[in-house]
Structure formats: C-alpha cells, structure tokens
C-alpha cells in the first residue's frame, strides 16, 4: 500500500533519514520503533508531504506521490497525526472534525454558488457524521467548545476523531501512547483495533511504549540512524541483537 524507496533527508550536516526503504501492507497495524533521533518523525513528515526528500520516492496505492503537496496526499487517503496532539484552537470540537471530512463539494469554490443545495446537504451529512463520531469518543458534551480548551487526553481522542471523519486508508499515528494514562491508553488501543478491523484502516504507528507495540503492532520495523535495522514480528525484532545494541547504545549515552 505504501512503499518508501531510498529516502534521504538531512538537516544542515545531520542526515536524519538515509537511504531508507520499507513497505506497509494494506490492513496491517505496522509499528515503527527506534531510539530517539533515529529519524522516525522525519520519515512521517516525508510520507505526509510536510518535508520533501533529497532522494528517493514515496509510492501510495501504486501512485508516486513524492512531488504531491500535503493536502493532495490527504485527499488520496493518507492521514498523519502528531505526537503532541494538534488541533485548531479557536475552532469548536465539532468544526475540528468537520474540517477533517474528505472531498467535500464546498472545497470547489464555485460549487458554493452554483450548487448551494448540494453543498448544504453534504454539509449537513458531515455534521451528522461528526455527531456520531463525538458520541463514539464520548466527546459529545464538548461539541461547541473551542478545541484549545480540551485536556491532553481529550485532544488525543479528537485526533482519533479526525481519523474517523476523513476517508483515510492509511493513518500515520505519532506516539498515541505518549502522555496518556493507562485507562485512556487501553481505550485508544481498543479504538485503533476496532478501526483496523471494522473499517479496514491501515495504521503505521511510531511508539516507544513496548507494551502497546506488543499488543497492537504486527509487523514491527526498527530503524536506527535513518535506515531500517530489522523488520518482522515483535518477538523477532525485540530479541534481535542489533536492536538491543541500538537501544543499549542510547542508554549508554
């Protein structure tokens, strides 16, 4: 579904991603692990289009998307979330979800004038869908609140909500477990699994919490110094000597 080939990206003299290649198969929850500074977040930004690679290509659903801007990648079904949840502070929770709904006729500027009824019908459908998502997440009482006022955990849930609103095929999750208490973490894991099973959403997840990786992810890809070290199921990757080295090396610092 997603294939990275020979990606490279450096910042000044530091090469964050260096000749990195791997694929993500449809329907999987693929884990991406690696020590701090291994290039995981840079990889996500390269895939989502926030950064352009210096070399290599990104292929999504058989199409080379290396040169596409972020919004065009989103419309093809690629969604990226952030380690620190991002939201539109001054937009309400409901509006935040509505912005994430894909391929709306209102996006075409002329449709606002020429096909007002169609736009309004679609807008109403999006609002209804957003209502359902809020119910699913338990955020319904906060629909009219500016999203900037939500707690950290609620923002995490809102990010999942954006995932559900978009018609995404592949979701890039950046550390869903970071800064979340155990109860909420279980809830988030459970929702990721249900989205994967019932909607067939594919996930690529950066995660440091090894319990979460063990429960959710198969396969797991470990990267270090900007390139793939080992790929396989969690048990294989965890016990691989090079992986142990990479993490112990970091601990040694």
Partner 1 sequence: MDLLSFVNFYLVPGIVAGAIYALGAIGVTLVFGVLRFAHLAHGDLATFGAFLVLALVGAGMTPWLALPLAMAAAALTAIALHHLFYAHLSRRSAILTVISSLGVALMLRAVVQMIWGVDTESYVSGIDRPQSYLGIRLKDRELWTLLATAGLVVGLLVFLGRTRWGKALRAMSDNPDLAALSGIDKRLTTALTWGLAGLLTAAAGFFLGLNTEVKPLMGWHMLLPVFAAAILGGVGRVEGALLGGLLIGIVEECSVLLLPAQYKSAVAFAVLLVMLSARPSGLLRGKVL
Binding site for partner 1 (CB under 8 A): 48-50, 69-72, 74-75, 79-80, 82, 86-91, 95, 98-100, 102-104, 106-107, 109, 112, 119, 123, 162, 166
- Nearer to partner 1 (CB atom), residue 80 or residue 227: 80
Cβ-based nearer residue to partner 1, 87 or 175: 87
Kind of pairing, strands 170-174 and 78-80?
Answer: parallel
| Residue 87 or 187 with smaller CB distance to partner 1 | 87
Quick check: 64 and 156 in contact, CB under 8 A?
Answer: no
**Residue 33, both tokens:** 């692990």
Judge contact between 214 and 23, C-beta under 8 A: no
Cβ nearer to partner 1, comparing 61 with 99: 99
Q: How far apart are the first and last CA of the chain?
A: 37
Residue closest to 204 by CA, chosen among 239, 168, 238, 230:
168
- Smaller CB separation from partner 1, 84 or 244: 84
Q: Show the CA angle centred on residue 85, arms to residues 147 and 198, nearest 5°.
A: 95
Decide: 223 and 40 in contact? Cβ < 8 Å.
Answer: yes
Tokens of 51: 């950064």
Rounded to a whole number of angstroms, the minimum distance from the CB of residue 111 to partner 1 is: 9
Shortest separation between residue 104's beta carbon and partner 1, angstroms: 6
Phi-psi region of 129 (alpha: psi -120 to 50; beta: other; left: phi over 0): alpha
């Amino acid at each position: 579904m997603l294939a990275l080939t020979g990606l490279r990206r450096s910042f000044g003299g530091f090469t964050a991603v260096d000749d990195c290649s791997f694929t993500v198969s449809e329907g999987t929850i693929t884990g991406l692990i690696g020590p701090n500074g291994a290039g995981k977040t840079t990889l996500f930004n390269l895939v989502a289009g926030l950064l352009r690679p210096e070399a290599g290509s990104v292929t999504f659903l058989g199409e080379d998307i290396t040169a596409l801007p972020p919004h065009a990648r989103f419309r093809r079904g690629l969604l990226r979330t952030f380690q620190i949840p991002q939201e539109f502070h001054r937009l309400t929770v409901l509006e935040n979800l509505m912005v994430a709904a894909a391929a709306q006729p209102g996006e075409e500027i002329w449709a606002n004038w020429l096909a007002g009824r169609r736009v309004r019908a679609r807008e109403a459908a999006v609002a209804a869908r957003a209502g359902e998502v809020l119910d699913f997440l338990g955020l319904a009482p906060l629909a009219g609140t500016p999203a900037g006022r939500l707690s950290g955990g609620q923002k995490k849930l809102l990010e999942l909500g954006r995932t559900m609103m978009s018609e995404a095929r592949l979701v890039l999750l950046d550390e869903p477990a970071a800064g979340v208490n155990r109860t909420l973490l279980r809830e988030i894991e459970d929702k990721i699994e249900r989205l994967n099973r019932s909607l067939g959403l594919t996930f690529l997840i950066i995660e440091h919490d090894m319990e979460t990786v063990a429960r959710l992810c198969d396969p797991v890809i470990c990267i270090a110094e900007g390139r793939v070290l080992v790929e396989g199921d969690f048990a294989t990757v965890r016990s691989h000597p090079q992986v142990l080295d990479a993490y112990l090396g970091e601990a040694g610092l």
